Structure formats: C-alpha cells, structure tokens
Structure 1
C-alpha cells in the first residue's frame, strides 16, 4: 500500500481526492454528495480563507494505483492561538472496509502533526464554523441533513483503533409536520415578549440579512463562549462564514430575538436540498443549478442548524420565544419535516426542552480526541 500526499496544485490529484467518496458510496442510498465545487475549494490554498491563517495537507491511500482511502489533516493555528494549545484536526476521512488502510492513513496524519510540534489531535473537524462535525455513530438508516456527514458504521471502530476516544457527541432530532406546539408555549412566548421587551426581527431580503450579519456573528460569539472548544468567528472568517450561510438560506427562515438594539438570540433555518444534490451528483453544470434552485424553493424539509441565546438572557423565557418562532416557521412555510441539526450532548437543557416538545433524537455524530 502507498500513502500519497496530494499535490494541491495538480488538478488531477485534487480530483482523485474529491471523487473517491462518489465511488465509495455509489451504492449507498443514504449518502448525499457535497457540492463538487465546494469540495475542490477546500484544497485550494489560494481561494479558501482557512489558508490565510492556518494550514492543511491531504493524503490518499493507494493499492495498485487505485484510491482506497483518504484523509485531511489540519493545523488550525487561529484556534490553537486562542485556546493556548498545539492541536491538529483530522477531517474528510474515508476508507474502504480494510483496517490496514485506515491505520496507514492515520499514521500519515500523526506523522504530519508531530513534525509540526503538535501534541494532540481531534476530529472529524473542519476548516470553518458550519463545516460538518463528527463521524456518524447512530442513525445510519437515515439520510443526513444537508451539509452533515454520512459514513459507514465501521468508521467508529477504525477511529478507535487509531487510539482515539470519544470527546463529545452532537445529536440531531426530527420533528414531523403534524406535531403540535403546546398552547402554553404560545402564551409563554407572548408574555415573555411583553414583559421582557423582546421583539422578533424578520427579514424579507438577503440584503437585510447581510446588514445584520455582523451583529448575529457577534451574538454567536457571545452565546457560545462557554463551550468547551469554542473559538470566536472574527475578521475575514466572519465575512466568509456569513456569506456562505446567507447563500444557503432564505430570509424568511432566519429569526432574531432582540431587546432594544441588542440581539438576545437567533435561529437559522435552511431549506434542505439534499435530494437535488443526489440527483445532480454534486455538480452545478449543466443542469445541477436548476435542480438545486427548484429544490430550494419546493423542498418540504427544513434544517435548523444554528440557534443560540446570550448567557444573560437564559432562563428569562427567550428560549420559549425561539421555540415558538421555530414552530411558526415550520408550519407557516409548508414544511413537512424538520431536522434540528447537531446539538452538543452537553446542552442537556435544550435536549430536555426539545424532547418535551416531541422531538425524536435519531442521529449522533462523534468528535474523537487523542494525544500524539
């Protein structure tokens, strides 16, 4: 077996890395391909903003010249500087069901990280906020939400064999279209808005979203600052992340709770276009863009992937306002299915509240960690 370091300046090498999952999951009905142009951009050192402050390399496992596995290994310098650590991420790991392939790929990743003086590794973790987190460990029979990873069940064993242990799980839950929000939630939400002076900001255009995006990013940083591995989104990263999220949503699916001029909480909804991505095989041309646009407007699936409340407003009813707005969005826009995506299992309060509303936690993605 040969481990080959990808030459990211060689389009043919990049294509081998990008295309491997398409062959690996060719007969898997649950797998949803990424947008090929976005997958290529992750290896583009000139165009992806990650490389303005950090670094990464990519490895292929070859048997008889045929790709049988791949892995990316990242040095997130911005995160390391903020956290005061010397860590690496692994990401985009894929392999045929052969433990020796996985061992060879992780050995290459470990050597790369150690050569840079990095003493720990975690993953799967990506290039920026909003990238898919974790390896799927529960819910293999279900299609993933848009932008969330799917992998075969044997990956967990391969990763643990490489010396990793669980760091945390991110859980996703399902809400059916016929679910009814208890009337008490509506009453609580209305009373809270009146008593606390909360108001819900709604948006009609993407220009309005762009105008408020810096304030939402600021609220995001404040809402999650206590999380174990939090890193604030700042500078060019903030601009690029906001642009990407705005491109994936509709203005009417974004809700912001404010008190005066301060943002108290936010809720981000995204039309799920996974079905179109499967039909166009991740390619925009020649007709993929039309399929994606049609699905964007007509899909009956919505993903809620991004909700937060500032710490000082938790326990004051802002969560009830957000849940009420979530249900209103779900019902009024004609969606039949909702996926609440990747909630950290350490957020037990939110999980309990969602279970009380009838949510079914049906998928789990795991972040692993180990010393090097």
Structure 2
C-alpha cells in the first residue's frame, strides 16, 4: 500500500506548492482552467488577504510516495464572528487525485485540527471565506470555466460524501445569453413611468474607489446579505484589497450603482472572464506572461463576464420596489455586456433557497450552468466523525 504523508504547510516552498497544486493535478481535464499563481497568492497569503485577520487557520498538503497528491485548509473564526447558520469551524481548498485514501487523510487532518479548536460541526469548502470561493462543484463539470469559480473533478464529491459529509446548501450559478439586439430595445424597468424619475443607474466611480465607493459597497453588501446562510461580514479592508485588483482588470462600465430617489440602494460588479486570455499561461505570469496579459487586456474582445459582487439594502428585499431595483440592475448589466460584445454573463453563487434572488434572474432568461455544494459533518467529542 502506498504511503500517504500529511504535511502542515510551513514556509514559502510549501505555500507555493499549495497554491499551484490544482493546476498540476487537473491539467487537461475538460472544464478546468488554471488560475494564475499570482492570483492564488493574493487569495491564500495572510499578508495579502485581510480576511485572515478574522480566523485562525492551517493548510495541509498530502504526499504519496514522494509526490504531492492533495491539499486542504482548515480555519476557525475568532471570538465574536459567527457565520449565520453555519459552523465557525470550516474547511476549504480541498483538491486531490482520484484516491479515497488521500481524501480521507486530508479531511482527517483538517477535522483533527478543528476538533482541537473545539469544533463539533464543520462546513465547507470555503476558500477561505463565503465571500471568496466556496462550494464543491457537483454539476457543470464541462461548462465554460469562469474566474473565481472553483473547479473539481466528479470523483471528489463522491469521495467526500463517502466519509460522512452531507449537503448543507447548494449554490447555483446562472448563465445569461446576451445579444446585441438588446441595444435596440427600450429598457423594461427604467423606462417605466413609475421608475423613470426615481431609479438611476450610475457607473461606479473608479477615481473614488477606495475613498468613497468601497465604504458604500461594504455598507450595501453587509446590510443586504446579513441574514443569509453562511454570512460573515465583508470588511472595509477586504473591499479595499479587492479594489486594488478591480482597478487592474475591471472595465469601468462593469460597475453599477443603483440609486433610488437619490440614495444608493444596490451595486453590482462584473469582471471579464480572464481565462479567455490566460489559458496558455499554465498559471505562470512571470517572466513572459505579464506583457502578454497587458496587451490582451487592451485588445481582446471578451466572450463572457461574471458578476462577482452584488449587494442590495435589506429593507428593499422581498418587496416590489426591491424587485424593480434588482431587475433594473440585471437588465443594465446585460445591456452593458451587449455594448462590450459579450455573448454570456454569469451570475453566482445564489443560494438554492433564495427565491427572491432566483426569480428575477430566471425572469430575464438565466439558466443554471453550475452547482456548487457546501457540505457539513458532525464530529464527536474526540474529534472523530460521527
């Protein structure tokens, strides 16, 4: 029997291996696209991602007969931070070869570490937060890969479920087809008499992104999602860190703020699908990828984009006014996508039981493209699975 060693991530070499491992494990798999290593560093490095100030964490690597074959992370929220409905003890970044023994060894390492922190129930994957990348892909394995959307092979969920992990929630990703004919149509929401003078859709002010707009986004996002399952606050520091990246890759027309009677009520941000221009980089930006990336960002006509952030005031939710605001935002993003010659727009993740969000998406023709699953497992007092 092959020997499997679980190695706690410590030091730069282990960290770099942890970040790049999925592209080594899944290279060539239909539906998989390798994210840039640099982007993975910003997601998982403590000094680059402010979210790590909110948690204690430990990352693990699995090695079988001297070869790296899997990874997992474990984190627990510090006192005073409790995810809504979910456990503060969580795992994430689970990737592995098709070997049940490897998956078992990895999950046991995460479970043991979390049990030492007092965990009796764990949820995941959250990588490293519900506001980052979350869920394990269970449907849509060969769908078009999109940025910031985790990809997993079909066997991984089977191996995880065999270890006693059950479904907690499913997260849906919708895809909208976009046609340039939208530009010739009158807007269905903002042109209506009752909304014409009240509802304004303005661009995100990129010049004031960190001085004004990120504070607004923090307010709208945290208010709007505060009662959703799994919610933890998206801090101002996290929004400021996100803003630094947005300035590099977001076209100005892909950020919209909805104002009702002059007061901001909602915002949405989409990003072009960078996988279209980095697929030949194999995750490496240096030394030759950076000039190519800059040139392609300027000249490439993107086929698809993904809505990565959305927030609407809680007071408007489940109301006719809130529905009109959300429908107006979706319609505006589709029109802006058509102006940019996009053919597809993806919106996710949407909780399966969030009917107030699903209904307007489906009204405008959104079709479910991928499903990611959040799992749950209970541990006994010794830290073993029950």
Determine if the TM-score, normalized by the shorter chain, exceeds 0.5: yes
The residue number in structure 2 matching 1:225 is 226
CA distance in 2, matches of 1:309, 1:41: 27
The 5 Å alignment of 1:207-226 reads: 207-210=207-210, 211-226=212-227
Aligned-residue Cα RMSD (Å) equals: 2.6
- Is the alpha carbon distance of 1:217 and 1:48 closer, same or farther for their aligned partners in structure 2, counting shifts above 3 Å? closer
The residue number in structure 2 matching 1:323 is 330
Residue 271 (structure 2) pairs with residue 266 (structure 1): no
CA distance in 1, matches of 2:54, 2:127: 14
Deviation at residue 76 of structure 1 after TM alignment: 2.6
- Within the candidate set 296, 300, 303, 1:300 is matched to 303
- Is the alpha carbon distance of 1:152 and 1:310 closer, same or farther for their aligned partners in structure 2, counting shifts above 3 Å? same
CA distance in 2, matches of 1:94, 1:187: 44
Whether the 8 Å contact between 2:6 and 2:109 is mirrored in structure 1 is no
Which digits, 9 at most, give the CA deviation of each residue in 1:235-259, with x for residues without a partner? 4234323434444422211111013
The residue number in structure 1 matching 2:18 is 17
Deviation at residue 108 of structure 1 after TM alignment: 0.7
Normalising by the residue count of structure 1, what TM-score does the alignment of the two structures yield?
0.90
Residue 170 (structure 2) pairs with residue 169 (structure 1): yes
CA distance in 2, matches of 1:275, 1:141: 15
Which digits, 9 at most, give the CA deviation of each residue in 1:91-138, with x for residues without a partner? 111111111111111111110000111222111102346422111100
CA distance in 2, matches of 1:272, 1:45: 26
The residue number in structure 1 matching 2:343 is 336
The residue number in structure 1 matching 2:60 is 59
Deviation at residue 84 of structure 1 after TM alignment: 9.5
Whether the 8 Å contact between 1:193 and 1:321 is mirrored in structure 2 is no
Whether the 8 Å contact between 2:326 and 2:360 is mirrored in structure 1 is no
The residue number in structure 2 matching 1:236 is 237
Residue 191 (structure 2) pairs with residue 190 (structure 1): yes
The residue number in structure 2 matching 1:3 is 5
Deviation at residue 181 of structure 1 after TM alignment: 5.7
CA distance in 2, matches of 1:40, 1:29: 24
SS in 2 for 1:257: strand
CA distance in 2, matches of 1:181, 1:334: 11
The residue number in structure 1 matching 2:39 is 38
Residue 312 (structure 2) pairs with residue 309 (structure 1): yes
- Quick check: 158-167 or 177-186, which moved more? 177-186
Matched length: 370
CA distance in 2, matches of 1:177, 1:20: 35
Whether the 8 Å contact between 1:301 and 1:337 is mirrored in structure 2 is yes
Whether the 8 Å contact between 2:32 and 2:151 is mirrored in structure 1 is yes
- Quick check: 358-367 or 305-314, which moved more? 305-314
Q: Which runs of 5+ in 2 are unaligned?
A: 380-386
- Quick check: 11-20 or 113-122, which moved more? 11-20
SS in 2 for 1:214: helix
Deviation at residue 327 of structure 1 after TM alignment: 2.0
Whether the 8 Å contact between 1:79 and 1:231 is mirrored in structure 2 is no
Q: Which runs of 5+ in 1 are unaligned?
A: none
SS in 2 for 1:331: helix
CA distance in 1, matches of 2:262, 2:79: 30
CA distance in 2, matches of 1:7, 1:347: 37
Whether the 8 Å contact between 1:5 and 1:57 is mirrored in structure 2 is no
SS in 2 for 1:68: strand
CA distance in 2, matches of 1:187, 1:84: 37
CA distance in 2, matches of 1:235, 1:356: 33
CA distance in 2, matches of 1:118, 1:322: 40
Which digits, 9 at most, give the CA deviation of each residue in 1:6-42, with x for residues without a partner? 3432x22223323322221122142121221232345
CA distance in 1, matches of 2:343, 2:79: 40
- Is the alpha carbon distance of 1:15 and 1:180 closer, same or farther for their aligned partners in structure 2, counting shifts above 3 Å? same
The residue number in structure 1 matching 2:76 is 75
Whether the 8 Å contact between 1:128 and 1:241 is mirrored in structure 2 is no
Which digits, 9 at most, give the CA deviation of each residue in 1:267-291, with x for residues without a partner? 2111111122321122221222233
The residue number in structure 1 matching 2:257 is 256
Deviation at residue 179 of structure 1 after TM alignment: 7.8
CA distance in 2, matches of 1:192, 1:310: 23
- Is the alpha carbon distance of 1:151 and 1:366 closer, same or farther for their aligned partners in structure 2, counting shifts above 3 Å? same
Whether the 8 Å contact between 1:176 and 1:338 is mirrored in structure 2 is yes
- Is the alpha carbon distance of 1:127 and 1:261 closer, same or farther for their aligned partners in structure 2, counting shifts above 3 Å? farther
CA distance in 2, matches of 1:158, 1:266: 39
